[in-house]
Structure 1
Amino acid sequence: MTRVGYRIALIPGDGIGAEVVPPAAAVLQAIGHRHGITFDFDEFDWSCQRYVHEGAMMPTDGIDTIRGHDAILLGAVGWQGVPDSISLWGLLIPLRRAFHQYVNLRPIMVFDGVRSPLTAAKDATRVDGVDFVIVRENVEGEYSEIGGRMNRGLASEQAIQTAVFTRPGISRVAEYAFGLAAGRRGRVTSATKSNGIVHTMPFWDEVVSEVAEDHPGVALRSEHIDALAAKIVLEPAAFDVIVASNLFGDVLSDLAAAVAGSIGIAPSGNLNPEREFPSMFEPVHGSAPDIAGRDLANPVGAIWSAAMMLEHLGHREAATEILDAVRALFVDGIRTRDIGGSAGTAEFTRELLKRID
């Protein structure tokens, strides 16, 4: 067997990030042993704790330090006493932008054995076959740095935030979404709000429609974000690929993760599709200070993110085996507390490693 090796930057971050990254790394090592893949992990202490002690989420040369890695596996960032704006703009956004990770990919799936909140609804069949992907534009849109605050503390105080949408930015994320849909069920839903946001959203609609013309085998439907949010709850199985701006994609993906049963199982990939720079993979559950250190964290979000990393690196079969092992545990009733089980982080990880081995 020809072995292939990768160098991975591990950033456990804060709270339960330090509890879910080790299971994900252990799963990578186990599946790698089966498939002739080796991993060298370099761990970095970039976090809110570092900010408290050193005044920065990461060192000034942090970007250059991990530029040569094959991928980044992140646990979570955020902690009490440190504003979220600092944790986001001091670590996540600089990494996403420096490494041109302009696609945020968030798969949504209702697993057998996991109870969706919709399961208790009168028509529980609507959760059958839920399997869609949200493609979120990740580096521009509503999350721009343009703007500011004036007259702080005065009656006339004001805040201005300018959203920035560019033709290249919209085109490339739409191209990714249509390419993804072509290999799935051939349907793209574009999230918009062009009836109320008068400049950026009509522009978004126009560019997405232009990209659609180059993909005649994929059907495009545009939905206003408010109606789309309702339909994700009412008809989640109707969706294939959803493409959305930075803010809309952020909100929709957390809503969709809740529909799937728990935000604890939700993964994400911050992708540089051209592979010129490392892509970053992270669960979306956050640092969860209320359960940190109590063996309650669900490691599936991080483990699924690691599987996405494997697929991005070209090892789809290995990634599929990880998800198959997770499915088998769920069906057998081995679940963490957030999805109706009793297993702790360590127990779930041990059982999963047994299945993989």
Structure 2
Amino acid sequence: MAKSFRIAVTPGDGIGPEVVAEAVRCLELLKTKHNLPLEWTNLPWPSHAWHEQHGESMPADALEQLKAYDAILLGALGDPGPVSDPNRYLLPDSISLAPLLDMRKGFDQWVCERPARLLPGARQYLADERAKDIDMLVIRENSEGEYVGQGGRLRKGRPDEVATQMEVFTRRATDRIIRYGFEQARKRASERAEAGTSRQFKTLDGRTCESQVCVITKRNALRYWGDMYSEAFEEMAKDYPDVATHHELVDAACMKFVQAPWAFDVVVASNLQGDILTDLAAVLSGGMGVAPSCNLNPDDPDMPSMFEPTHGSAPDIAGEGLADPTAMLFTTARMLEWFGRQNDEVNAAGKALFDAVAADLAENSGSRRGTREIGDAICARLEKAG
């Protein structure tokens, strides 16, 4: 009997429930049509509403409950934003987003993958025609770095208050994220070769390779972890002579993402720097409304990975049926492809969902449609597909 994949569906805040509803519709259709071994449970937490009722964003045993699932499909988290009612229950960002960090750390989801590819129909923000060739994978180290939460506030609220925020980097996490980047570069080169769309990158010694890894640091100012990343990268590169290597300081990388994003292939960055770069890459590939994201634990099959769109909760349009579910549906497709490492039928369903969403994006470029209307169009494509 085929393994059944269990999904914890967590709609969250703002537009999360609206876009997740369309993702579940697509999952229901694909499961029925292809008899897929998928099961899911809709959870009301983590969310602002749960916090308002219970005084916490999710139950104390939330991680233990979630551990029973193979994946978490998350809509959006975040404070609902400023409101006119002074009695409205509000949450600071540090509390409303805390469950996201808790899940990433608790399940050691050490890889955050955010692809940035300018698909037909997506908005092209750069005038340069070469921007049509944007196709990079930004890999963010997701388990440590700037988001470890070490630090505190001394003499809070006083004029002489002191706040400390520590960064923590280990060689183990550095090695595994850089090696993962090299492996993904090889995989992407192989996929491009099969599709007949190979790319070429120059090595420092003038050779030509079909893939590249660029590591991002700020080693000129943040020397300790920057030097460790650079040394690990140089040492790791010896195992991958077929992959071109490159290093950028994060400020220069932001500039070059705008100047020549088509020159990047795989980018490896720390937690905070990767967070910033992936938002920029999302805009270059059409905007946050089309950008998927994955938080993965490739090492431990007993730990769930988490799949969430890059966008936030968009409280200004929540509940109005205007949210574009495209990013959520691309994210759902990547979840199915993640399961597809163990099941060919589920992998094919993930590719079918990606193709349907991409085709809808290409056909309806620039049109204004509601959440449900977009979901209807994609479900119709899935129904017609073989």
TM range (shorter): over 0.9
* 8 A contact 2:19–2:323 mirrored in 1: yes
Q: Name the counterpart of 1:59.
A: 59
Q: Is residue 293 of structure 1 aligned with residue 297 of structure 2?
A: no
Q: For 1:83-130, what per-residue CA distance to the aligned partner results, in whole angstroms no more than 9, with x for missing partners? A: 1111222x1111111111000010111111122111xx2x3x121221
* 8 A contact 1:126–1:234 mirrored in 2: no
1:151 CA displacement: 1.9
1:3 CA displacement: 5.9
**3-state SS of 1:214 partner:** coil
CA distance in structure 2 between the aligned counterparts of 1:142 and 1:332, rounded to whole angstroms: 41
Aligned residues: 346
Gap runs ≥5 in structure 1 = none
CA distance in structure 1 between the aligned counterparts of 2:245 and 2:103, rounded to whole angstroms: 31
- Letter aligned with residue 184 of structure 2: L
1:318 CA displacement: 2.1
- Letter aligned with residue 84 of structure 1: D
Describe how 1:1-357 pairs up with structure 2 within 5 A: 5-46=4-45, 47-79=47-79, 80=81, 81-89=90-98, 91-118=99-126, 121=127, 123=128, 125-185=129-189, 186-274=211-299, 275-314=301-340, 315-333=346-364, 335=365, 340-357=366-383
CA distance in structure 2 between the aligned counterparts of 1:205 and 1:147, rounded to whole angstroms: 26
CA distance in structure 2 between the aligned counterparts of 1:166 and 1:4, rounded to whole angstroms: 35
* 8 A contact 1:102–1:271 mirrored in 2: yes
Q: For 1:36-70, what per-residue CA distance to the aligned partner results, in whole angstroms no more than 9, with x for missing partners? A: 31322111111012112211111011111121111
CA distance in structure 1 between the aligned counterparts of 2:180 and 2:145, rounded to whole angstroms: 17
Q: TM-score, normalised by structure 1?
A: 0.93
- Letter aligned with residue 100 of structure 1: D
* 8 A contact 2:5–2:339 mirrored in 1: no
**3-state SS of 1:156 partner:** coil
- Letter aligned with residue 259 of structure 2: L
After superposing the two structures, state which structure 1 stretch, 14-23 or 210-219, moved more: 210-219
1:253 CA displacement: 0.4
Q: Name the counterpart of 2:200.
A: none
**3-state SS of 2:169 partner:** coil
**3-state SS of 1:149 partner:** strand
CA distance in structure 1 between the aligned counterparts of 2:348 and 2:230, rounded to whole angstroms: 36
% of aligned pairs identical? 42
Q: For 1:338-357, what per-residue CA distance to the aligned partner results, in whole angstroms no more than 9, with x for missing partners? A: xx321110000000000011
* 8 A contact 2:214–2:266 mirrored in 1: yes
- Letter aligned with residue 323 of structure 1: F
